[in-house]
Structure 1
Amino acid sequence: MTTSQPTATAHGSAPQVLPALRKIDYFIGKLAEIPAALLVAVEILILFIGVVARYFFHHPLVWVDELASILFLWLAMLGAVVALHRGEHMRMTAIVNKTGEHWRPMWNFVAVTACLAFLVMILFPAYEYVEEEMVIRTPALDIINAWRVAAILVGTVMMIIISLLRLVSFGNWKLTATGLAIVAVVAGLFHASVPFMQGLGNLNLLIFFVLIVGATILSGMPIAFSFGLATFGYLALSTTMPSLVVLSRMDEGMSQIILLAVPLFIFLGLLIEMTGMAQAMISFLASMLGHVRGGLAYVLVGAMYLVSGISGSKTADMAAIAPILFPEMKKRGAKQGELVALLSATGAQTETIPPSIVLITIGSVTGVSISALFTGGMLPGVVLAITLCVVVWARSRHEDLSHVQRTPLAQILRIGATAVPALALPFFIRFAVVEGIATATEVSTLGVAYAIVVGLLIYRRFDTRRLMPILIETAALSGAILMIIGTATAMAWALTQSGFSHSLATMMSTLPGGRAMFIAVSIAVFIVLGSVLEGIPAIVLFGPLLFPIAKQVGVHEVQYAMIVILSMGMGLFAPPFGVGYYGACAISKIHPDEGIRPIIGYMIALFIGIVVVAMVPWISIGFL
């Protein structure tokens, strides 16, 4: 399985096409990357100006949120284009990778063709959607809303071109023609079966949302496009609803202003690594604990907790910490499998640490207060950290530290003084949200400004040459995430309209055992969903359905959010399907096979921690 990592490839290697086509491919890539990167920077600037005007000058700028929302949809779609061009859309490749070198190109071809099929299907509805929005004007700026939704049409056209170039890149015209013919035949069969399918009723849910989604995801198709293809097919072939509704629901899912926090916190996470803030924190922790058995493992657990409070992105967290700690841990005799296992486990442990992107997502789709989630997410992470540290202690009792010298107190204090500006950032972010200085969306801009000042004036590590690559990486990862949220929102709407949500609510609310059984089933379900669908798609799809039931059976919404997120995180980082585990392997450059056995103990510890959080509501809601 691969994730939105730079090392992942969604459609194979870089295209080996004719020189003219290669130039087109390069041009399309730059045409998406540069505007997307600039949009990230502009969004940061706009929101920062809004915070300053409102809080410091007491003069709110009413147009800020509107302009940010207009640009955000363009950022989401251009980011999705960049992710497709760079091969960074989230996809599951565990099955495909086992088919061998001979069959893997065929599966990659199928994935490209399926993506192309979805994009072609939504092309005309996207044009209709732009036409429909021509008559709507925005309230503050008085701009025709078609300028905003045109982002979907432009992004779709660019992704179609990229997909066609990928098909040509396989270099086998017979394979290309065969694949396109198969897609055409399958599409024709589905179209011819419309009268039959419309008579199947809710059995179509099984066909489209279980069989088709399952088959396309297992074949290596990016998850976002899999969701979109199944939803479009369901509405077009088995209902009388207009296909335009898919575009409107995708727009609704990707345009929520709270989700603007996703790219901003991703950028902040990459920025703290570049400015040396992450290294300062880790060095301070290592100076205090480096001389004890398992000391650097404890540092890893603590560093992931602290850095998660800054970046909100697990990818950024792991990328900032692993290169700093792993070389010294290897010198002390730590096995590679143990390192990647612990890194993965800490990734799951810190899913609730604010400002986690998952917290922001679950708040946006369920209506739970983001501030309450930020407050409630602190202690559950501590509980899981304790369970992981117990495993570290058990495994490091016989570690040989005869060659390790204890850091003198004076040096610890000196390193600690250097780390104070970095250590202050997580507290600054939480203080700004809790005190109402900035919203969960805006607060990241204050963090970015803080990191820039600290990087320039204190740590003197601010490489302007890395800014553009970081902005592009932010746009690509954000586009991959937001595309999933958009198509998953459309799928969730289709499930709701079919009556599935009512049936699910009835089944879950009538489980024997009441509250305890509901929580137990939720833990099991989200561990599986986190492993198969990854965290954000699972939450967008099932969060709105299950949270009202949780409230009905007496589970506080914040506690239920912690249970759901931690369970999902455990599945996300648990092999063999957990995509987060393979991301940790890619970052640490360790083969996945080496971590399979060591991670079992950590997964058991995480499960015990989740059970404790589920049994003791105070851990999640005690400080609300």
Structure 2
Amino acid sequence: MSQHVSHSMPPPGHALDETHALHEAYATEEAPTQALPTGWRRAVFGVETALCRVVEYLAAALVLAEITVLFVGVVKRYALHSPIVWSDELASVLFIWLAMFGAVLALQRDSHMRMTALVSMASPRVRSVLETLALAAPLVFLMAVLHPAIEYAEDEMFVTLPALDVPNTWKAAALPIGIGLMALVSFLKLLRAANPKQVAVVCVCLVLAVALGHVASPWLKTLGNYNLLIFLVGLVAASVFAGVPIAFSFGLATVGYLTFTTTTPLAVVVGRMDEGMSHLILLSVPLFVFLGLLIEMTGMARALVGFLASLLGHVRGGLSYVLIGAMYLVSGISGSKAADMAAVTPVLFPEMVKRGAKKGDLVALLAATGAQTETIPPSLVLLTIGSVTGVSIAALFTGGLLPALVLGLALCLLVRYRYRNDDLSNVKRVSARDILWSAGIALPAIALPFVIRGAVMEGIATATEVSTIGIIYSVVVGLLVYRQFEWSRVVPMMISTAALSGAILLIIGAATGMAWALTQSGFSQNLAKVMSGLPGGAATFMVVSILAFIILGSVLEGIPSIVLFGPLLFPIARQMGIHEVHYAMVVILAMGIGLFAPPFGVGYYCATAIGDVNPDEGMKPIVGYMLVLLIALAVVAAVPWISIGFLP
């Protein structure tokens, strides 16, 4: 993005790294700045940089190819009435390569999502060891699955893609190549680490842990499902809180569980990862991420916020209402909360500070609006729910608008109370003529969410393809209407899109493998019995789900939580008579509250970094906002019509 955003360091105990990864992908189009190594490490760094430079351009080309293939498919089918039968198949092949190359870039940029609450509290020496572990642990997982990935790709030689009439190895080969490149990058990063002795000690400890697992394997196999607690709970928790990236924590736990307690070949894990990352609905994830970057670059977000400010800027707390409204509207465009916050903050915060607003209040409201708008299409969480549970994307897009509006109105009521004594004597009311002028300027930006939703509802494009319509629309508006389009930023934006998408999709793939292991162990059936047997029926189930997803949202973030527990809990909700769209809205909003609620919610620290505010300043004012959001969430949970009243 064009504006510079300072990354203020949160105090110890905060999940900084995931915040940095989320924000860095949007706030800049370059890799995070690192201190240049010296001596022989410079040569290692040079090899790593050259390798990743090649991957960057391949990833950017794949993003462009995805946009082109999907958009041409829409035009041929809807406008020319001659559909391309192989477009979706080709797009899915390109997509898995994009996901793997993006995961390589995310590893090189330290952008894989991770939780560092305990790491930040540790002493410098312990913190250094844990940071080394965060580099070495992924390498263990990658080396464990590299050969199985090669075997999986070879086996897919006997499967033919029906439309393209080529072996599925063309697609499956992305996995061993991506895994191999990630392993090489991880090794190079370890090689140039600051303390070789420390690296050696950590690596020896990991090797000994693997050897201990093999020695204890006969005993572990006698424990049955207690191994789930050891590996899929204990090892995951230990890895996540030690700062190992979430995707690799999931992968290590799944590989350890299957290797030491079962006879299942690891090629099955690779197959489940492929299945999780290859879902057709997920094709839109990188395209919506790129769309979020486009709306900022073209000035659409600034025009939209400017119109809302002219409309409400003269009332008490008016710019706070503008912030709530802008986040609601922009969320319908970008699909990503980090992009939303980065788009509206530089436009609104300076003027709000001039009017006497405290920065802590502003960042608290910004985080609250992030939680409020999690259900607004095309939210990446909505797309993920659709991919892992089979719920209609069109129904989720329709059902998500009103629940977010209910939470937004609740925030507006609190804003009205907090700013009831504002002094507006120096605030000049904007004339009706100027309001109409700013409305005209903002009209193309205001229209974009309706263009996206209308294209899906009218059958012009699928939920997978509609992001390409938004991209083409934004390019045309940027070039012809706002006359603001920096061609030099397009390739870096595509590279950042690939990196963030790779980080997200690797989590989905690893979590899909873990979810499969849970299902095969019989855990899902046991969970269903426990949840369905809770006293109070559907009401108790809903309350337990809300509490569980608030906790999961603060620790794991929304997408991995949904991939892990969505396939287990949605069937139970249906069994209890809860509409699946209603249940989806409730759990998404619950995860949003957890994601943006301190002390562990990483979204809160993303908001503080974007707003350049010390996290301590927002701790007190955000309490009121979170309480209001919880009350509004209870209303949404108690009144299903809010979520399903407008479904066809």
- After TM superposition, the score normalised by the length of structure 2 is 0.95
Aligned partner of residue 560 in structure 1, secondary structure: helix
1:115-264 counterparts in 2 under 5 A? 115-264=138-287
**CA offset at residue 133 of structure 1?**
1.1
The answer to whether 1:452 aligns with 2:469 is no
The answer to whether 1:72 aligns with 2:89 is no
**Where does residue 37 of structure 2 map in the other structure?**
16
Query: 2:577 & 2:210 partners in 1: Cα distance?
Result: 46
With over 3 angstroms needed to count, the CA separation of the structure-2 counterparts of 1:6 and 1:617, relative to structure 1, is closer
* Aligned amino acid, residue 88 of structure 2: D
Post-superposition Cα deviations, 1:339-362, rounded to whole Å, max 9, x if no partner, equal 111111101100100111111110
State whether residues 249 and 486 of structure 1, in contact with CA within 8 Å, keep that contact through their aligned partners in structure 2. Answer: yes
The answer to whether 1:394 aligns with 2:411 is no
**Where does residue 22 of structure 2 map in the other structure?**
5
State whether residues 288 and 335 of structure 2, in contact with CA within 8 Å, keep that contact through their aligned partners in structure 1. Answer: yes
1:325-344 counterparts in 2 under 5 A? 325-344=348-367
Aligned partner of residue 403 in structure 1, secondary structure: coil
Residue from 576, 597, 609 that aligns with 2:599: 576
* Aligned amino acid, residue 81 of structure 2: H
Query: 1:513 & 1:441 partners in 2: Cα distance?
Result: 39
Aligned partner of residue 46 in structure 2, secondary structure: helix
Query: 2:117 & 2:392 partners in 1: Cα distance?
Result: 36
**Where does residue 114 of structure 1 map in the other structure?**
137
**CA offset at residue 101 of structure 1?**
3.2
The answer to whether 1:52 aligns with 2:68 is no
Query: 1:333 & 1:82 partners in 2: Cα distance?
Result: 42
Query: 1:583 & 1:301 partners in 2: Cα distance?
Result: 17
**CA offset at residue 468 of structure 1?**
1.0
With over 3 angstroms needed to count, the CA separation of the structure-2 counterparts of 1:490 and 1:11, relative to structure 1, is farther
Structure 1 residue runs of 5 or longer lacking an equivalent are none
1:145-544 counterparts in 2 under 5 A? 145-544=168-567
With over 3 angstroms needed to count, the CA separation of the structure-2 counterparts of 1:11 and 1:55, relative to structure 1, is closer
Query: 1:333 & 1:246 partners in 2: Cα distance?
Result: 55
Query: 1:548 & 1:140 partners in 2: Cα distance?
Result: 33
* Aligned amino acid, residue 211 of structure 2: G
**CA offset at residue 480 of structure 1?**
0.5
**CA offset at residue 135 of structure 1?**
1.8
State whether residues 90 and 480 of structure 1, in contact with CA within 8 Å, keep that contact through their aligned partners in structure 2. Answer: yes
Query: 1:517 & 1:135 partners in 2: Cα distance?
Result: 49
Aligned partner of residue 461 in structure 1, secondary structure: coil
Post-superposition Cα deviations, 1:299-357, rounded to whole Å, max 9, x if no partner, equal 00000000011111111111111111111111111111111111111011001001111
**CA offset at residue 170 of structure 1?**
2.1
* Aligned amino acid, residue 599 of structure 1: I
State whether residues 24 and 32 of structure 2, in contact with CA within 8 Å, keep that contact through their aligned partners in structure 1. Answer: no
* Aligned amino acid, residue 286 of structure 1: A
* Aligned amino acid, residue 16 of structure 1: P
- RMSD in angstroms over aligned alpha carbons? 1.4
**Where does residue 586 of structure 1 map in the other structure?**
609
Query: 1:283 & 1:13 partners in 2: Cα distance?
Result: 36
* Aligned amino acid, residue 177 of structure 1: A
**CA offset at residue 593 of structure 1?**
1.6
State whether residues 23 and 338 of structure 2, in contact with CA within 8 Å, keep that contact through their aligned partners in structure 1. Answer: no
State whether residues 23 and 606 of structure 2, in contact with CA within 8 Å, keep that contact through their aligned partners in structure 1. Answer: no
State whether residues 455 and 466 of structure 2, in contact with CA within 8 Å, keep that contact through their aligned partners in structure 1. Answer: yes
Equivalent pairs, count: 624
Structure 2 residue runs of 5 or longer lacking an equivalent are 1-14
With over 3 angstroms needed to count, the CA separation of the structure-2 counterparts of 1:512 and 1:6, relative to structure 1, is closer
* Aligned amino acid, residue 29 of structure 1: C
Post-superposition Cα deviations, 1:91-140, rounded to whole Å, max 9, x if no partner, equal 00111111143332211101111111111111111111111112222111
**CA offset at residue 290 of structure 1?**
0.6
Post-superposition Cα deviations, 1:35-71, rounded to whole Å, max 9, x if no partner, equal 1111111100100000000000111100100100000
State whether residues 6 and 88 of structure 1, in contact with CA within 8 Å, keep that contact through their aligned partners in structure 2. Answer: no
Query: 2:616 & 2:119 partners in 1: Cα distance?
Result: 17
Query: 2:35 & 2:381 partners in 1: Cα distance?
Result: 31
State whether residues 161 and 168 of structure 2, in contact with CA within 8 Å, keep that contact through their aligned partners in structure 1. Answer: yes
**Where does residue 609 of structure 1 map in the other structure?**
632
Query: 2:34 & 2:483 partners in 1: Cα distance?
Result: 38
Between 255-264 and 132-141, report the one with greater CA deviation: 132-141
**CA offset at residue 14 of structure 1?**
5.2
Between 334-343 and 500-509, report the one with greater CA deviation: 334-343
Between 480-489 and 330-339, report the one with greater CA deviation: 330-339
Query: 2:146 & 2:32 partners in 1: Cα distance?
Result: 21
State whether residues 32 and 109 of structure 2, in contact with CA within 8 Å, keep that contact through their aligned partners in structure 1. Answer: no
Query: 1:334 & 1:11 partners in 2: Cα distance?
Result: 31
Query: 1:10 & 1:417 partners in 2: Cα distance?
Result: 37
Post-superposition Cα deviations, 1:78-97, rounded to whole Å, max 9, x if no partner, equal 00011111111100011111
Identity of aligned residues (%): 61
**CA offset at residue 15 of structure 1?**
6.5
**Where does residue 580 of structure 2 map in the other structure?**
557
State whether residues 10 and 84 of structure 1, in contact with CA within 8 Å, keep that contact through their aligned partners in structure 2. Answer: no
**Where does residue 621 of structure 1 map in the other structure?**
644
**Where does residue 66 of structure 2 map in the other structure?**
43
Query: 1:214 & 1:460 partners in 2: Cα distance?
Result: 50
**Where does residue 12 of structure 2 map in the other structure?**
none
State whether residues 44 and 192 of structure 2, in contact with CA within 8 Å, keep that contact through their aligned partners in structure 1. Answer: no
- After TM superposition, the score normalised by the length of structure 1 is 0.98
**Where does residue 3 of structure 2 map in the other structure?**
none
The answer to whether 1:98 aligns with 2:121 is yes
State whether residues 63 and 498 of structure 2, in contact with CA within 8 Å, keep that contact through their aligned partners in structure 1. Answer: yes
Query: 2:250 & 2:393 partners in 1: Cα distance?
Result: 27
Query: 2:553 & 2:33 partners in 1: Cα distance?
Result: 25
State whether residues 11 and 112 of structure 1, in contact with CA within 8 Å, keep that contact through their aligned partners in structure 2. Answer: no
**CA offset at residue 235 of structure 1?**
0.7
Post-superposition Cα deviations, 1:443-472, rounded to whole Å, max 9, x if no partner, equal 010011111111000000000011011111
With over 3 angstroms needed to count, the CA separation of the structure-2 counterparts of 1:285 and 1:12, relative to structure 1, is closer
With over 3 angstroms needed to count, the CA separation of the structure-2 counterparts of 1:5 and 1:347, relative to structure 1, is same
